Amino acid sequence: MNNIEQMLSLKTWAVIGANNNKEKFGCKIFQFLLKQGEYTVFPVNPGLSEVLGEKCYTSLSELPQKPDVVNLVVPPRVGEQIIRECAELGIKNVWFQPGTDSEAVVSLARELELTVVQACVMVESRNRS
């Protein structure tokens, strides 16, 4: 089982950068994972109190349970701090959406011994169903 298949089999996800703008990927990905019906999905965005009617959290440490996978839908400069928080909280799996994965932030994730996927979760899910 490769990293993509392994992460897709895990059931608790956090979407960093989730939002209510249906034109943006933070909304599309959060909504997509919710609609799959097999995942518990937490939106994380310090600027919002809810996303699509779900309580939104300001940080990973605020979540009611530790996610198995953190999906990043934020610019690489924000991602570095998220990667460090993942390592501190013992979250091992990070999924970088296209455009969120600078060389520096991916290198940091690997240095911190996190498992990394760089792909679109919507595309990869559809490829496997």
Residue 44 φ then ψ, to 5°? -125, 120
d(CA 112, CA 115): 9
Q: Domains of the chain by range and CATH?
A: 3-128 (3.40.50.720)
pTM recorded for the entire structure = 0.96
> Is the CB of residue 43 less than 8 Å from the CB of residue 54?
yes
Report whether pLDDT(119) > 80: yes
pLDDT tens-digit map of 16-41: 999 999 999 999 999 999 999 999 99
Mean pLDDT, residues 29-56 taken together: 97
